[in-house]
């Protein structure tokens, strides 16, 4: 017998938000319920996504629906932030991920943010790599200190701004020589604070430079925030694409259905200055194309090896700010293709 929406609503009235002494239905926390056969998806609105009650209610919803409607159903619970909350003005959250370090993920995130801003969009970038923050250096604001203001009775961070881009990073709050020996919960708390205890204002895109791999922060981002999609960064070597494949599949698990927007292949080829018509594929060819075919997504662009990309990053000025560079051209094309992919969602 088909499951009806009213059955789901009636069952959810058993789920109590103890802090507010009422059930999540009468508290108007249910944003959406969708039913497809034995699959039920419930979207629940919370004032703060770092509230410990998020996890409690998540588990309670799954347990209650299975108890009332059958243990053979699949339940997908999506917690989202209040539309009047700190991320209400952010239209698109884009996560930039890699499977391993050293493939140029942060460089790609920084130049993508710059390219989107140059196209006329309002852009912010969040350095979520809490154990190895590098965005402050790349944007020339490593000595910066975000201001704190009070809004609605609580302290709120104001992102720094450079090149027209709003910037936040854990790197603003630790000394460069300080080693962060944090367990997962500590890193998660820092990440949630940067996301939700900050005034991002109105943004077309918030680019998030994620830590490499598939750890706690990746899971927190996927489960607790409304992510528009994920951009994969890899280099042409098979070992790099193998690692990013594992990272990509995390976002294709049953409960983490977040779109993969495409692949940026970094360090794709080398063009000698004295022979601009030649391309040397130092790290090989084909592995990124194979990965794209397997995942059913596009190659957004291929970034050539250019010494200036690391030189300008170290000087606090992403190379995409400089017109005429092959890297600048490549990221301009990537940002346009990214917008097209988002428009298709």
Burial of 309 (0-12, 13-18, 19+ CB in 10 A): buried
| CATH dotted code for 5-81 | 3.30.300.130
Q: Please report the pLDDT score of residue 69 as a whole number.
A: 93
Distance CA 156, CA 147 (A): 8
pTM, two decimals, is: 0.78
The distance from CA 8 to its chain's CA centroid, rounded to whole angstroms, is 31
Q: Which residues contact 171 (CB under 8 A, 6 or more apart)?
A: 127, 133, 134, 135, 136, 137, 142
Q: Does domain 90-344 have CATH number 3.40.50.300?
A: yes
Q: Please report the pLDDT score of residue 112 as a whole number.
A: 98
The mean pLDDT of 33-58, rounded to a whole number, is: 87
The count of C-alpha atoms lying within 13 angstroms of the C-alpha of 61, restricted to the half-sphere facing its C-beta, is 27
Q: Say if residues 46 and 77 touch (Cβ distance below 8 Å).
A: no
Q: Say if residues 113 and 94 touch (Cβ distance below 8 Å).
A: no
pLDDT tens across 248-291, in order? 888 777 666 689 999 999 999 998 878 878 889 999 999 999 99
More confident residue, 22 or 255: 22
Query: Would you state the structure tokens that stand for residue 339, as one six-digit string?
Result: 């917008």
Do 5-81 and 90-344 come out as alike in CATH topology?
Answer: no
Residue 122 has pLDDT above 90, yes or no: yes
Q: Please report the pLDDT score of residue 138 as a whole number.
A: 96
Domain ranges for the chain: 5-81, 90-344
């Amino acid at each position: 017998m088909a499951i009806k929406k009213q059955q789901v609503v009636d069952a959810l009235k058993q789920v109590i938000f103890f802090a507010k002494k009422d059930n999540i239905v009468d508290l108007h926390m249910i944003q959406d319920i969708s039913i497809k056969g034995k699959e039920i998806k419930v979207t629940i609105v919370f004032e703060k996504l770092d509230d410990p009650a998020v996890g409690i209610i998540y588990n309670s919803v799954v347990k209650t629906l299975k108890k009332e409607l059958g243990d053979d159903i699949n339940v997908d619970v999506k917690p989202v932030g209040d539309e009047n909350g700190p991320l209400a003005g952010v239209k698109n959250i884009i996560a930039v991920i890699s499977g391993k370090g050293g493939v140029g993920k942060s460089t790609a995130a920084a130049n993508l943010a710059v390219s989107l801003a140059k196209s006329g969009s309002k852009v912010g970038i969040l350095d979520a790599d809490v154990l190895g923050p590098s965005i402050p250096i790349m944007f020339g604001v490593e000595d910066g200190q975000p201001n704190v203001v009070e809004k609605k009775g609580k302290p709120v961070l104001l992102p720094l701004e450079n090149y027209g881009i709003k910037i936040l990073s854990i790197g603003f709050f630790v000394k460069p020589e300080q080693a962060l020996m944090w367990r997962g919960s500590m890193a998660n708390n820092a990440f949630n604070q940067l996301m939700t205890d900050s005034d991002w204002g109105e943004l077309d895109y918030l680019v998030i430079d994620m830590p490499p791999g598939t750890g706690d922060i990746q899971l927190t981002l996927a489960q607790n925030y409304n992510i528009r999609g994920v951009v994969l960064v890899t280099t042409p070597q098979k070992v790099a694409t193998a690692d990013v494949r594992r990272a990509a599949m995390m976002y294709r698990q049953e409960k983490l259905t977040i779109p993969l927007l495409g692949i940026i292949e970094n360090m794709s080829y080398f063009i000698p200055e004295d022979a601009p018509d030649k391309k040397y594929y130092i790290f090989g060819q084909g592995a990124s194309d194979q990965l794209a075919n397997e995942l059913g997504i596009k190659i957004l662009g291929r970034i050539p090896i250019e010494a200036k990309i690391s030189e300008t990053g170290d000087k606090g000025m992403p190379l995409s700010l400089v017109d005429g560079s092959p890297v600048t051209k490549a990221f301009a094309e990537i940002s346009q293709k990214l917008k097209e992919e988002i428009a298709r969602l």
